[in-house]
């Protein structure tokens, strides 16, 4: 017995918003589901699987396009998975880059804190933004 569910039920089962599901369909990430006579969408078990796949991909920070590729790879079970591996490595490098950027930012911001006793004209934060040279201590 293949179970069938409306978009609301799918939304609850997969933990993805209704609007988001319709958006994924619109951009071709999910296939158009069967429709009842009323026009209501009806989803089967494969559809949950696919949507959960997308959700996990997003949680891992993959872009929609990267997920599109991963879905294609998953649909060709006999092909070697080298490309999936490459994609993960590439994405890992992106994440590392973002962490490095944010860490640099963090250090700069941490160096600015704690001057709330001054007037704005002497504030280190304002000075740093306005371009006054900071003492290089």
Partner DNA sequence: ATTGACCCTGTAGTGGCTACAGGGTCTAGG
Partner DNA sequence: CCTAGACCCTGTAGCCACTACAGGGTCAAT
Minimum CB distance to its own copies, residue 28 (Å): 18
Minimum CB distance to DNA, residue 16 (Å): 8
Per rule CB under 8 A, is residue 128 in the interface with its own copies? Answer: yes
Q: Torsion angle of alpha carbons 53, 56, 57, 58, nearest 10°?
A: 120
Considering only residues 56 through 95, tell me which ones interact with Zn ion, judged by CB under 5 A. Answer: 81, 91, 94
The H-or-E segment that residue 88 falls in is helix 82-110
Which of 20, 44, 112, 128 contacts DNA by CB under 7 A? Answer: 20
Which is it for the CA torsion 11, 29, 43, 55, positive or negative? negative
Considering only residues 28 through 67, tell me which ones interact with DNA, judged by CB under 7 A. Answer: 36-41, 58, 63-65
Select from Zn ion, its own copies, DNA, none the partner in contact with residue 68, using the beta carbon and a kind-dependent cut-off of 5 to 8 Å: none
Closest CA to 16 of 50, 63, 46: 50
């Amino acid at each position: 017995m293949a179970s069938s569910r409306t978009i609301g039920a799918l939304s609850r089962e997969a933990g993805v918003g209704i609007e988001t599901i319709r958006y994924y369909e619109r951009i071709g990430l999910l296939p158009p589901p069967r429709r009842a006579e009323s026009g209501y969408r009806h989803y089967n078990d494969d559809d949950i699987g696919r949507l959960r796949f997308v959700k996990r991909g997003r949680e891992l920070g993959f872009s929609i396009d990267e997920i599109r590729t991963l879905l294609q790879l998953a649909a060709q079970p006999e092909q070697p998975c080298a490309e999936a591996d490459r994609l993960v490595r590439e994405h890992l490098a992106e994440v590392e880059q973002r962490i490095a950027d944010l860490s640099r930012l963090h250090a700069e911001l941490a160096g600015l804190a704690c001057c709330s006793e001054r007037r704005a004209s002497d504030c280190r934060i304002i000075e740093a933004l306005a371009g006054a040279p900071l003492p290089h201590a």
